[in-house]
Amino acid sequence: MARLVIVSNRVADPRKPSAGGLAVALGDALKPRGGLWFGWSGHIAEPGQADQLHVQQAGPVTLATVDLTQDDHDGYYLGYSNGVLWPVFHYRLDLADLDAGYVGSYRRVNQLFARQLQTLLRPDDIIWVHDYHLIPLALELRALGCAQRIGFFLHIPMPPPLLLAAIPQAEWLVRCLCAYHLVGFQSQADLLHFGRYIVAEVGAQPLGGQRWRAFGRRVEAGCFPIGIDVDEFAGLTHAPEACEMYERMRHTYAGHRILLGVERLDYSKGLPQRVKAFAKLLRNHPEHIGSTTLIQIASPSREALGSYTDLRQQLESLTGALNGDYGELDWVPVRYMHRNVARRRLPGLYRLARVALVTPLRDGMNLVAKEFIAAQDPADPGVLVLSRFAGAAEQLKEALLVNPYDTDGTSETMQQALQMPLHERQRRHQLLLEHIRAHDVHWWRRTYLDALMATQEDDRALAPSPKG
Ligand code: GDG
């Protein structure tokens, strides 16, 4: 049986408890037949040591990593991946550093990855590349003569053609995507944007279904919404750490109703808009004053980038003002925490919340929405308020969907969620739980890999042609 090779920016040891749900799921994909997981080590190389490959065995899984020089890390990771691709793919042209010249580092790191990975590959390996940091990897591997079947999955949104076109290297990026056998997206909207771009902007020839001929090669795309490991997460909910968290917080917030937000502190997640909507809720429905609290966990993320420090200041100023305006000596409206909460404790918080606020301005999928559903007590479940701009909104129709830019609408939906009768909460939760169970992370992985294996071989290689 062919060996599976997973490539992602970061590599996690799937045996470690700190590994997140996705790391565990990818690790699980590798375990049955043994496999290789390749990526950046997370370390900056000592001068002259950047090309070293670190290989270790984690059970049946081989973990192979490389270090990056400070310059390459800054240009590839902070600069191009998170200063250009992340903002544009989340529709934020205003935050993109389009002319800073980071593309050279981005390409160099992808070439380094290709060279190092090639030394470990077998002819019949199946390679699965993850996310926006590594879009050019297949093209670079092909340039080295690798003919293996290679698939790509984009975890973040695919922007509409005219937004993507604002990136000076847009055509090169799409050419890179066309070097994969299969390009996977989170939602139908993303898939549609990709199809429109390659037909309208690069003249791809439609071959029927989600197949095209572009740049002299056949490319196939599909929609594969990522899920969570529902059973694992439900299990965590009953583990001692989560139970202890739940009991402690239940005691602390006795008699209060909790609205909860949990995410990385990222401008795509709509945090300032959420705080403004909560302020409107307190203004328009003063019965909540003294009895309803918003707990907002905003875990630190990409703090070396100015757009993230600006967001932090904006959020802290809004939170401070709201607490000043509405707080009482014995009640603080917003409990804001700019720290990470241990993964094993999170389900206790989810279970405590009457309402989860998952209101990103744009999000590829959003796993917090699914974790919240999995952690609920079916007899007394909380309500999910979900942005229509999260990929998850295509699937989770029984959530209360909101437009997070509409502060009044979002605050009224918070009110509806807080007042929802038990039978309606139960009905919605049951349908949501059935959906995330039927489309869990194992389903996602199987469906994607089956589709990758079913793609037709293409005999025409692509010449690499970097532009930019
Ligand atoms: C990208 C895409 C897509 C959050 N705070 C803490 C914490 N988390 C965990 C959550 C969840 C994960 O991080 C966040 O996943 P999301 O899906 O919500 O968002 P991104 O990080 O932006 O992920 C996204 C995803 O990739 C997968 O394809 O859904 O659209 O943007 O698991 O629980 N975990 C811990 N402490 C925290 O404070 N331990």
Ligand 1 atom nearest to 20, measured from its CA: 32
- Atom 28 of ligand 1: nearest residue by CA position: 155
pLDDT tens digit string along 10-64? 998 777 765 566 677 787 778 777 899 999 998 998 877 777 899 999 888 999 9
pLDDT tens digit string along 157-189? 999 999 999 999 999 999 999 999 999 999 999
Q: Which residues are catalytic?
A: 155, 363
Domains of the chain, each with CATH number or no CATH: 4-227+443-454 (3.40.50.2000), 230-438 (3.40.50.2000)
Distance of CA 18 from the midpoint of ligand 1 (Å): 13
Is the pLDDT confidence value at 109 over 50? yes
- Atom 33 of ligand 1: nearest residue by CA position: 368
Cβ-count burial 429-463 (b if 16+ within 10 Å, e if not)? beebbebbbebbbbbbbebbbebbeebeeeeeebe
Q: Widest CA span of the chain, in angstroms?
A: 72
Which pLDDT score is estimated for 21? 60
Distance of CA 263 from the midpoint of ligand 1 (Å): 6
Q: Which residue has the higher pLDDT, 464 or 295?
A: 295
Distance of CA 154 from the midpoint of ligand 1 (Å): 15
Ligand 1 pocket mutation pick from 92, 368, 386 by most atoms within 8 angstroms of CB = 368
Q: Return the percentage of the chain with pLDDT > 70, whole number.
A: 96
Our answer on whether the CB atom of 216 is closer than 6 Å to any ligand 1 atom is: no
Q: Return the percentage of the chain with pLDDT > 90, whole number.
A: 86
Distance of CA 264 from the midpoint of ligand 1 (Å): 7
| Arithmetic mean of pLDDT over the chain | 93
0.85 cut: is pTM over it?
A: yes
Is the pLDDT confidence value at 468 over 50? no
Among 389, 345, 332, 340, smallest CA distance to 365 is for: 389
Our answer on whether the CB atom of 21 is closer than 6 Å to any ligand 1 atom is: yes
Among 168, 233, 142, 186, smallest CA distance to 433 is for: 233
3-state secondary structure 185-244: ECCHHHHHHHHHHHHHCCCCEEEECCEEEECCEEEEEEECCCCCCHHHHHHHHCCHHHHH
pLDDT tens digit string along 283-313? 999 999 999 999 999 999 898 898 999 999 9
Which pLDDT score is estimated for 459? 47
Which pLDDT score is estimated for 342? 92
- Atom 10 of ligand 1: nearest residue by CA position: 368
Our answer on whether the CB atom of 374 is closer than 6 Å to any ligand 1 atom is: no
Ligand 1 pocket mutation pick from 156, 187, 263 by most atoms within 8 angstroms of CB = 263
